[in-house]
Amino acid sequence: MRRLLAAATLAATLLLGAGCSGDEPAADPSPGGTGSATPTAATPSADPTGTPSVEGSQPGSAPAPGTSVAPAGGNAREVCETASKAAAGAADTYITQLGAMMQATASGDTAAADAARTKAEAALKSWSGAMREQAGRATDARLKAVLGEIATEVDSMKADVTSVDGMKLDELQQRLDALCGN
């Protein structure tokens, strides 16, 4: 699934670049409209279970550099495989439909653009639903949490390349990979 999220981010970036006109400034996706984010300092710590974490981050967030995370237990292998397959299909459809939507928009075919948008949105709904379903099946609390966070992140995405937060998806993917033993 790691390659999948990276491909989604890359495709979104490429599609965004292809869909931009030199006549208009790019939309500023940041909440404050400044276009920049100020990173906050993070201090490594340990939670009561002894699992390394980063202060100021959500439980289960990426471990401090140089630390390792034990793979998830219980039914993790089955959940990881199912989640990966579901995400692969949905993300592929999402990327394909974003491209079709942008091509249709560029050629002035609003009906085709609307149809592609609808399919892209359905793919996102399928993707987040599959992640929630697998989170519900997971017996490992850390895996359950990460899959839930992926579902929430995918829910925030739209059939619009500017809605893809590549850094957040990558961070979630790194955590999932560690838990799934990838």
Provide the angle, in degrees to the nearest 10, between the axes of the packed helices 141-156 and 110-137: 170
Mean pLDDT of 33-54: 35
Tell me the per-residue pLDDT of 50-86, one tens digit each, with 9 for 90 and over: 333 333 334 444 554 445 678 889 999 999 999 999 9
167 φ, ψ to 5°? -65, -40
CB atoms within 10 A of CB 168: 16
For 150-166, how does the pLDDT look when each residue is reduced to its tens digit (9 = 90+)?
A: 999 999 999 988 888 88
Query: Is a pLDDT exceeding 90 seen at residue 128?
Result: yes
Residue-wise pLDDT tens digits, 79-114:
999 999 999 999 999 999 999 999 999 999 999 999
The fraction of the chain above a pLDDT of 70, given in percent, is 63
pLDDT of residue 181: 86
pLDDT value at 17 more than 50 = no
pLDDT at 43: 32
Tell me which long-range contacts 76-81 makes (C-beta under 8 A, separation of at least 24): 76/138, 76/139, 76/140, 76/143, 76/179, 76/180, 76/181, 77/180, 77/181, 78/137, 79/134, 79/137, 79/138, 79/143, 79/147, 80/143, 80/176, 80/179, 80/180, 80/181, 80/182
Q: What is the DSSP letter of 53?
A: E
Identify the band that residue 24 occupies on the pLDDT scale cut at 50, 70 and 90.
very low
Q: Is the dihedral of CA 138, 141, 146, 149 positive or negative?
A: positive
Strand partners, 54: 44
Whether 147 and 135 have beta carbons less than 8 Å apart is answered as yes
The Cα–Cα gap between 12 and 1 comes to 16
Report the 3 state secondary structure along 121-145.
HHHHHHHHHHHHHHHHHCCCHHHHH
* Lookup: tokens for 89: 């299909």
Q: What is the mean pLDDT of residues 141-149?
A: 96
